[in-house]
Structure 1
């Protein structure tokens, strides 16, 4: 535990818990722009749906959902499947949105397997702020490709995530894979 964590815990009436903290101030723009369901103007995922594909990192557009690279990826090829409609919870999507989200998740996994050979995947949705959603007002499903050793000492000890590919290079590779897989 760092000295600042211990001081902060005592200052705010708590006991040190032994956990280090990973501060990610670069994500504050997303957190602050998050609006309650129904207010889509400030939503970064709604904006991405309206922007140029390359600028927004959108690799594929379907009828009800689109596939976009995560701006802050855990691994190269970290994708998100998002409905166009500004809706917060999985229970609020239509059958068509649910079905297309599922199909695009499966298709994304297949194309990632072909293009970069991951050895596994993490697939999931964080629902609501307390459920861990960084953008809680707009539903999105994460697809994170995984490789043996991708969670090595560097992020744990060095507090650095090594990504071997630029986002634009990943966008070019995956958007081409979606175009070729019609």
Structure 2
């Protein structure tokens, strides 16, 4: 067995490679805490919490807007129906209408607060299509800025997000009612 050499630097200490250590992302990467069913679905439990604790930005009658726990960019929101439903065609007419209206309003609010130059909108239907939580439908609203895609996601498989979720939620929730 080769002898292990120890150096003066430890993992997490900046070195010539300028690594950005994000160990908190391992929960997402490893799928830890992924819901197994309706009882532990985060999109079903969030509305039962306070807006601050659930990271909820706004509530409607049939759907609500929540910060994404693993955002692609600052202000990454999700619009979720309250009802535990997985497939878009299974939404009621009222749920479909409100998901669309909340998506429109969320875009307006994010534009006012953060001034993105574009958005990615979408629903990943099923795990094979990239849905992290495929059992409960949710619409992504991802603000984008010119030049926001740098080497980090491509080379480092890491996406630096410069704003804490709670701070982003507070700014967006305040602006929602302006």
Scaled by the length of structure 2, the TM-score of the pair is 0.81
1:95 to 93, 96, 111: 93
Q: 1:29 is matched with which residue? A: 32
Counterpart Cα distance in 2 of 1:116 and 1:75: 11
Counterpart Cα distance in 2 of 1:62 and 1:151: 33
Residues 68 and 104 of structure 1: CA distance in aligned 2, closer, same or farther (over 3 Å): same
Residues 60 and 105 of structure 1: CA distance in aligned 2, closer, same or farther (over 3 Å): same
Where do 5+ consecutive residues of structure 1 fail to align? 1-23
What are the Cα deviations for residues 8-27 of structure 1, in whole angstroms up to 9, with x where unaligned? xxxxxxxxxxxxxxxx6312
Q: 2:142 is matched with which residue? A: 144
5 Å-filtered alignment, 1:42-121, equals: 42-121=40-119
Counterpart Cα distance in 2 of 1:155 and 1:82: 26
Q: Where is the helix percentage greater, Structure 1 or Structure 2?
A: 1
Counterpart Cα distance in 1 of 2:98 and 2:33: 25
Q: How far 1:154 moved relative to its partner?
A: 2.2
Q: How far 1:30 moved relative to its partner?
A: 4.3
Root mean square deviation, CA, Å? 1.5
Counterpart Cα distance in 1 of 2:149 and 2:76: 14
Q: Show structure 1 runs of 4+ deviating over 4 A.
A: none
Paired positions, count: 153
Counterpart Cα distance in 2 of 1:80 and 1:170: 13
Counterpart Cα distance in 1 of 2:57 and 2:166: 11
Counterpart Cα distance in 1 of 2:91 and 2:36: 19
Q: How far 1:150 moved relative to its partner?
A: 1.0
Counterpart Cα distance in 2 of 1:176 and 1:134: 28
Q: 1:6 is matched with which residue? A: none
